[in-house]
Structure 1
Amino acid sequence: MDADVDVEEVSAQLYGLPPDRFTEARDEQAARARKAGDQQAAKTIAGLRRPTLAAFASNLLVRERPRETAALLELGRALREAHQALHGPQLRELSHRQHGVVSELARTARQLAGEAGSAVSDTVLREVEQTLHAALADPDAAEQWASGRLSRALEPPVGFTGLPPVEPGPRPERAPAPDAPPPPSGTPAPARVDARRLARLERARQAARETGDEAEAREGELRAAVEEQERCEEAAAEAEEHLAEAERRLREVREAQRSAREAVVRSAARVRDLERAAKQARRAADAAAARLGELSPG
């Protein structure tokens, strides 16, 4: 008989587990859904990805520290609003706050994960910090993090997302400048001053172009490295899932082997018992036949 399975509830339970317990628990839940006749739920549950350690620590922080989670989400909203309004003083104040909040929450996540039996390295700690920065910068990332069901760490965007571009306003008309007094003796001619200023301006533009190109190149390398890291994490998670599945099948095969051996032992004991019974019956039959022969007239 078909029965509806609450996938949301199952998912919430699974992503509260340490990564090393996730795969086996997920497969058990998927098997229960199949047994209950809810094939769609079974397919959805079986497709849930095993969380990385950084994702688990981030999820644990959301689950165990709801007040701090709400405070970080509120700080993110305030940061994005200040950035959109181009409110410099407020933006500087909030930006200063976010670094302290992120560091403190990341350390809390590390402690919670350790208490749950999962040690967090410095590399994983940085991934947790990146996830928190992403939740501050991007509302979609904030929603994903606040769900407590991350399967991998989040990457903060370059700058804030979803903000309208700042359109340059009209330049105010400037009153004509009064006639400049003649330069005093020994002052460089205006043409020379303008040439020097233009030369400095050109050098600054060239430096800006070069540093901009360098920044874009490094950002491109960073994006490629992040993508490569994500591919490696996915490959590692997939390999771990295959390993867990192979271990589960091995346990099933060993259980079947143990049951078969026990059946062989029971069968052998029964064969021995039947052999003894058959011999006894044959001896009894032979004795009865002999007595019958003795009693029969010659």
Structure 2
Amino acid sequence: MEASDEVEQVIDALYVSAPAGFTAARDAAAARLKAAGDKAAAKRVAGLRRPTLAAWASNTLVRADPEEAEQFLQLGQALREAHRALDGEQLRSLSHEQHVVIGALAREAVRLAEEAGTPVSEAVEREVEQILHAVLGDPGVAEDWASGRLTKAPAVGTAFPVASPDAVARAAGTRPGPGPERAPARAREAERQAEARREEERREEELRSAEEARQRALERVAEADTEVERLERDAARARAARDQAHADLAEAEKRRRAARHPRHRTDRR
């Protein structure tokens, strides 16, 4: 196996595991690669970002059923083409299929997460749905998701950059959507969602930094404990050597006194 293939397998294994253990596993993998002499691979692995819970849950779909994931990607391509062509009939059909498939995949992601021992909340399930919408609308997001290494939900607004609601409605042969009077409300809702997403990303980043700091502290504690144990062993050996030296000195003094005593009496006589 080539070194590059081995590194890809290491990275895949990291993104398969639940996010809670990602940082420790990543740092350990980077340390192993560095010890093996592959500094470039170690640097690459050390720079990997921990996925959010929703991103990890959506990644599980790719690994659990690659064929279904490929069909979902093909649905996204068909939707984008229909939007570009303003094909009303196809838009109606594919839009309905989009909602059905996204709902089913989001529920499957929840099931897979629970099966992996990491249950997720309804809020995370909704975020998985947002990720899947973005996968359908943005080829770049689709590529990241297809790799199984998506790290966070895409920014709000990556779903479908359609020409205009009126144009799509005319192509679909339906009435136009909500008029301009509802645009401010939609804008406020989009901004609220964007701010909530930014706040969540900030929390995720703070958590990642805290976990990394904790891991470094644990490593320093382990090193310090090892050093203390070594010093204590050295001290024990030194104390034993000192006690033996004192014992040898006492024995030597005893023999010296015994050796001197008879000569002293002879000298007096």
Q: TM-score, normalised by structure 2?
A: 0.80
What aligned pairs does 1:76-155 form with structure 2 within 5 A after superposition? 76-155=76-155
Q: State whether structure 2 residue 179 is matched by structure 1 residue 208.
A: yes
Q: Structure 1 CA distance, aligned partners of 2:20 and 2:62?
A: 20
Letter of the 2:212 partner, please give it.
Answer: E
Trace 1:238-249 onto structure 2 (pairs within 5 A).
238-249=209-220
Q: Structure 1's 99 and 164: CA in aligned 2 closer, same or farther, altered over 3 A?
A: closer
* Equivalent residues of 1:57, 1:110 under 8 A apart: yes
From the superposition, tell whether residues 289 and 99 of structure 1 become closer, same or farther in structure 2 (CA, over 3 Å): farther
Asked if the contact 1:26/1:45 (under 8 Å) is kept, the reply is: yes
Moved more, 76-85 or 274-283: 274-283
Partner of 1:197: none
Larger radius of gyration between Structure 1 and Structure 2: 1
Residues 133 and 159 of structure 2 are in contact (CA less than 8 Å); yes or no, is this contact kept in structure 1?
Answer: no
Query: Per the alignment, do residues 53 and 214 of structure 1 end up closer, same or farther by CA in structure 2, a change over 3 Å counting?
Result: closer
Identity rate, percent: 43
Contact 1:30 1:45 in 2 (8 A): yes
Could you tell me which residue of structure 2 aligns to residue 58 of structure 1?
Answer: 58
CA distance in 1, matches of 2:233, 2:216: 26
Q: Do structure 1's residue 225 and structure 2's residue 208 form an aligned pair?
A: no
Please give the root-mean-square deviation of Cα atoms over the aligned residues, in Å: 3.2
Distance of aligned partners of 1:14 and 1:241 in 2 relative to their CA distance in 1, 3 Å threshold: same
Query: Deviation per CA, 1:151-202, whole angstroms, max 9, x where unpaired?
Result: 22334635524x7889x9xxxxxxxxxxxxxxxxxxxxxxxxxxxxxxxxxx
| 2:16 counterpart SS class | coil
2:239 counterpart of 1:268: yes
What's the CA shift for 1:53?
1.7
- 1:257 is aligned to 2:228: yes
Note if contact 2:156-2:193 (Cα within 8 Å) is conserved in structure 1.
Answer: no
Shift of 1:258: 3.6
Deviation at 1:292, TM superposition (A): 7.1
| Structure 1 residues 16 and 266: alpha-carbon distance in aligned structure 2, compared to 1, 3 A threshold | farther
Q: CA deviation at 1:293?
A: 6.7
Contact kept? 2:155, 2:194, Cα under 8 Å: no
Of stretches 287-296 and 71-80 in structure 1, the one that deviates more from structure 2 is 287-296
Which structure 2 segments of 5+ residues have no match? Answer: 168-177
**What residue number does 1:181 align with?**
none
Q: Tell me the matched-pair count.
A: 256
Would you say the 8 A contact 1:137–1:157 is kept in 2?
no
Give the Cα–Cα distance (whole angstroms) in 1 for the partners of residues 230 and 111 of structure 2: 44
Q: CA deviation at 1:109?
A: 1.8
